[in-house]
């Protein structure tokens, strides 16, 4: 069960954190993983880890907010692999600030990466999936797609958009056997989180990490591996009857 043999999986933001965990797990389960990241060296590192463990992987630098770059990248991938079975829209950036403390430049930057990036990559992948008779798109949303979180105005805006894009893609392409779902994590402890805390809360890192952990009723943040295992289910044939759904991975937050 949950094998991905002979499937081609593209993972955006696959160079670190959740994307790296998804990429390495999918590689172990037999997928040919194509790791995309703005940081080409990080993408290469993930691909090397997969191949060193006996899997199949390629890597490429890709700016998901650049239409021409996305199109060229996906054309190259499909030209080489001849198919595209799974797209993980994981690449994303964060922001701290309420409405008044969100500069227009930051708002636009978050939109370009978190929303336009999902749009561009999905737009590149869907025609391939339709042509081959089906495929799976899995988007990374957030619990802020459901609830309000203080000082996350622009980030919440983008993840709300990811949630509704998921629903739209699912209903528009269900007859073409293209499934689309999203995962909505609470706080997940990744190197990105450590860097984000260091940048935005200098001198308070330990305190803020403790606060982030305590936010979940389970008393800890989730792990990238826990997200990856849910992603594996949603991209495997075992979830063939699941589409248009949002799956919280929240340590009990939504039960509060």
Catalytic residues: 155
Cβ atoms < 10 Å from Cβ of 75 = 12
**9, two tokens:** 């999986």
Could you tell me if 57 and 50 are in contact, meaning their C-beta atoms sit under 8 angstroms apart? yes
User: H helices of the chain, where?
Assistant: 17-28, 40-52, 67-81, 104-110, 117-132, 153-173, 191-200, 205-214, 224-235
State the Cα–Cα distance between residues 167 and 231, nearest whole angstrom.
Answer: 17
Could you tell me if 62 and 10 are in contact, meaning their C-beta atoms sit under 8 angstroms apart? no
Q: Which residues contact 82 (CB under 8 A, 6 or more apart)?
A: none
């Amino acid at each position: 069960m949950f094998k991905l043999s002979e499937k081609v999986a593209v993972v955006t933001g696959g160079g670190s954190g959740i994307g790296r965990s998804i990429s390495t797990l999918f590689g172990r389960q037999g997928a040919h993983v194509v790791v995309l990241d703005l940081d080409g060296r990080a993408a290469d590192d993930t691909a090397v880890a997969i191949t060193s463990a006996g899997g199949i992987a390629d890597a490429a630098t890709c700016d998901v907010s650049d239409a021409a770059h996305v199109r060229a990248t996906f054309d190259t991938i499909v030209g080489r692999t001849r198919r595209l079975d799974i797209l993980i829209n994981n690449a994303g950036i964060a922001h701290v600030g309420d409405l008044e403390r969100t500069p227009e430049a930051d708002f636009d930057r978050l939109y370009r990466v978190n929303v336009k990036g999902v749009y561009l990559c999905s737009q590149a992948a869907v025609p391939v999936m339709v042509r081959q008779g089906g495929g799976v798109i899995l988007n990374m949303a957030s619990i802020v797609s459901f609830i309000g979180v203080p000082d996350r105005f622009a980030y919440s805006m983008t993840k709300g958009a990811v949630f509704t894009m998921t629903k739209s893609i699912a209903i528009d392409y269900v007859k073409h056997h293209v499934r689309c779902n999203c995962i909505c994590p609470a706080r997940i402890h990744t190197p990105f989180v450590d860097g984000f805390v260091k940048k935005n809360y200098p001198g308070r890192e330990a305190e803020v990490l403790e606060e982030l952990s305590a936010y979940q009723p389970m008393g800890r943040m989730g792990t990238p591996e826990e997200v990856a295992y849910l992603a594996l289910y949603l991209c495997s044939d075992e979830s063939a009857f699941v589409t248009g759904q949002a799956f919280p991975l929240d340590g009990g937050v939504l039960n509060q």
